[in-house]
Amino acid sequence: MSNRHQAPATPPYDRATVADALVALFEARAAAGDGRIRVEDLLSAASAACGEACIAAAGELDVERHAFTPGAVVMSDRINGILAADTTDWSGGGESVFGIIRAGALAHGYAAREFPALEDVFRGFAAGVAAKEAGPAWGFVPLSVPPGNQPRIQPLRDAYEVRPAVRALFAGHGVPVAEWPGVCALALASELGRVAGAIDHGIAVRLVLETVNGMAKTAPMTDQAMRSATT
């Protein structure tokens, strides 16, 4: 039978193109106020979106509709596999989220010594959320960066506010949900390269890794919770 009248197959999306579009989206949002971009807030927001993408890809919690209190810690058996290929050794990171971020940052001139041990990233989050009163304020995640480099906006809020635009971009390019984290990681690697001259590399790396990890283990904000909070 002839295939002349069959619709052509949809071509696969280009990951670099989508990552570049994400970078443009994050930077436009960061500059929406007075046109100036605070690097820490830019990296925090992009990392928050990446963490939420990991939750979506894990498929164990509906980002937009769930029964957890937004901001609560939510652990998943699949998240560490998406983040770091279930390893605490950088050599085994491969195409995981952290592996992509590190490889991209190294290609942009960062040094391997500027990356913390993966184990420190995971332990830092666990210690931070266990600290209760001494832990981060609601909507924020535990960070080891200096006070002057802390984000001013809650990553929980950032992820919620940028969600519609990020999802529309993914839908427009036909990016499967399972591949959202990798595309976000590629965008973060590019963002690290673009801000390399404006922030200490070690601080930038820690801010990104710790925010991605923290937000991937935090119940996202939902429309229903937002409505309840404002009524």
pLDDT at 231: 60
Q: Closest by alpha carbon to 215, among 40, 41, 79? A: 79
- The 10s digit of each residue's pLDDT in 163-207 is 999 999 999 999 999 999 999 999 999 999 999 999 999 999 999
**Spatial separation of the C-alpha atoms in residues 217 and 155, rounded to whole Å:** 12
**Spatial separation of the C-alpha atoms in residues 225 and 70, rounded to whole Å:** 7
Which of the four pLDDT bands, split at 50, 70 and 90, describes residue 6?
A: low
State percent of the chain over pLDDT 70: 95
Enumerate residues 6+ apart whose C-beta is below 8 A from 87: 93, 118
Find the mean pLDDT for residues 153-158. 97
> What global pTM score does this model have?
0.93
**Spatial separation of the C-alpha atoms in residues 22 and 30, rounded to whole Å:** 12
pLDDT at residue 103 greater than cutoff 60: yes
Tokens of 119: 């184990």
